[in-house]
Amino acid sequence: MSIDNALGLEHTYAAALEGLYAPIDPAGFPQPALLLLNRPLATALGLDPAWLEAHGAAVLSGSAVLEGTRPLAQAYAGHQFGHFNPRLGDGRALLIGEVVDPAGHRFDLHLKGAGTTPFSRQGDGRAALDSALREYIVSEAMHALGIPTTRSLAVVTTGETILRQRAAPGAVLTRVAASHLRIGTLELFASLDDRDALQRLVQYSLQRHYPERAHGGAVALLEAVASAQARLIARWMAVGFVHGVMNTDNVALSGETIDFGPCAFMDAYDPDTVFSQIDQQGRYRFGHQPGIGAWNMARMAEALLELLADDRQAAIELGQATLDRFQSELRATWLDLMRAKLGLPGAEDDDGALIQALLDAMARARADYTLTFRRLADGLEHETQPDLHPEIRAWLPRWRARLGASAPKQMNQVNPLYIPRNHKVEEALSAALAGDLGPTTRLLEVLARPFEAQPGCEAYAEPAPESFGCYQTHCNT
């Protein structure tokens, strides 16, 4: 079934990057139903929410194709848990096209769970409702926190039952991204030793994401992505976010957070926090994310090595210089973010030691990461002794001495009160699987204003009760 292309979708990826995708004729689903629509996002993209409510179930499940459009599954390679896989790609997703918003920004509309593709690797290509809702909740929370991220436009149920960790209704998530270009996309052409195609991919990536660097070639792309990723990971670290699966196929060239399968936010601070059930060695633990970011950028430099310079040694030196800048920019960005969280005026050489001393005290105290910073701010604002563990109270004089007589900036404008607490997310998902979407919509409402205390929402700010136990996440693929 085809429908008039009222969304005005375009297809620059398909036109520019032949060989990086497989055209798909989606099978669709017999009983798709629109469950959740992000009306503010639709409006921001220049899409008509009323049209989406009327036709979204068919179009955003892949059950109907817009006239003149070219659904496709993107191809890419990638390093997964340190091991190179030359053939990955969209195994359960379709790019149905690109939309240009009123400001002229281009975004992919990408359907996750729309069925099998040539890259499905013996999978069924489907997604479960809890997986789709989880990405919707966490990606929208990340957006509200001001962290670059893909977003979620809609969830459509399919009428099927999917078996993953549990039986669940089938669903398709519509993901909105600046693009789905990844380090793994570069690695695919590099692994094929197709220099011309790799050059074409570099130029398309620059024009789409870093047009001001469009004439700089592979060096400019490597530098731009390294800077974007350094700033992104620093932001994750500042809010206690654990991505969980930082494979190179999950590193977006745009600098957006992408792939929310096993991610979660910390309650008690612990740099060794791991949530993903499959990360048995803790490769992607919270405190290792900066190191993994550097490792991933090294893989990008390797993929681009032949394009960085004609002389191999010169290319290696260019790549190493970019990695050095990545590490220094991530550290500098993180320090600035942490200074803001603590209300510190200016920058002093000892700030890193002061911040680390607090984190060490929090780790010993098993203190809640998010609430500790709110309590510090509240103690200053009300000139009271904050309700903190003795380990942290012993650190307070150092902090107050660093503040001096200066009035701290509004710390609560950068320290969230509400994050997607794991137990609240699970409560919402369990209710949705039982047919009650109310807890999900209420959680989304709270998370849309993460820095503002909302009367009656105290439970959303509290860490999980002890009865919640040790939390583990799953990819659900």
The whole-angstrom separation of Cα 287 and Cα 275 is 13
Residue 23, SS3 per DSSP: strand
Q: What's the mean per-residue pLDDT of the chain?
A: 93
- C-alpha angle 77/81/85, rounded to 5°? 25
Q: What is the mean pLDDT of residues 440-450?
A: 98
- Give the pLDDT of residue 477: 46
pLDDT digits 0-9 by tens, 196-250: 999 999 999 999 999 999 999 999 999 999 999 999 999 999 999 999 999 999 9
Q: What region, left, alpha or beta, does residue 404 occupy, with left being phi > 0 and alpha being psi -120 to 50 degrees?
A: left
How sure is the predictor about 3, in pLDDT bands with cuts at 50, 70 and 90? confident
Contact assessment for residue 275 and residue 472, using Cβ atoms and an 8 Å cutoff: yes
The pTM of this model reads: 0.95
How sure is the predictor about 308, in pLDDT bands with cuts at 50, 70 and 90? very high
Sign of CA dihedral 199, 294, 143, 332: negative
How sure is the predictor about 467, in pLDDT bands with cuts at 50, 70 and 90? confident
- Give the pLDDT of residue 165: 74
The percent of residues above 70 in pLDDT, for the chain, comes to 97
CA distances from 125 to 121, 151, 260 (A): 9, 21, 17
Strand partners, 128: 170
The whole-angstrom separation of Cα 77 and Cα 185 is 6
More confident residue, 304 or 70: 304
Contact assessment for residue 70 and residue 23, using Cβ atoms and an 8 Å cutoff: yes
Catalytic residue among 90, 108, 130, 249: 249
pLDDT digits 0-9 by tens, 335-368: 999 999 999 999 999 999 999 999 999 999 999 9
How sure is the predictor about 292, in pLDDT bands with cuts at 50, 70 and 90? very high
The secondary structure of residue 10, as a DSSP letter, is B
CA distances from 8 to 4, 48, 200, 207, 255 (A): 9, 11, 25, 21, 26
Contact assessment for residue 232 and residue 446, using Cβ atoms and an 8 Å cutoff: no
Q: Is 249 a catalytic residue?
A: yes
Domain ranges of the chain: 2-177, 344-408
33, containing H or E segment: strand 33-37
Sign of CA dihedral 282, 283, 284, 286: positive
Contact assessment for residue 85 and residue 79, using Cβ atoms and an 8 Å cutoff: yes
**pLDDT for 124 beyond 60:** yes
Cβ-in-10-Å burial (0-12, 13-18, 19+) of 190 comes to: buried
pLDDT digits 0-9 by tens, 6-24: 889 999 999 999 889 999 9
| Residue 302 backbone dihedrals phi, psi, to 5 degrees | -60, -40
The two beta strands, 241-242 and 167-177, are unpaired
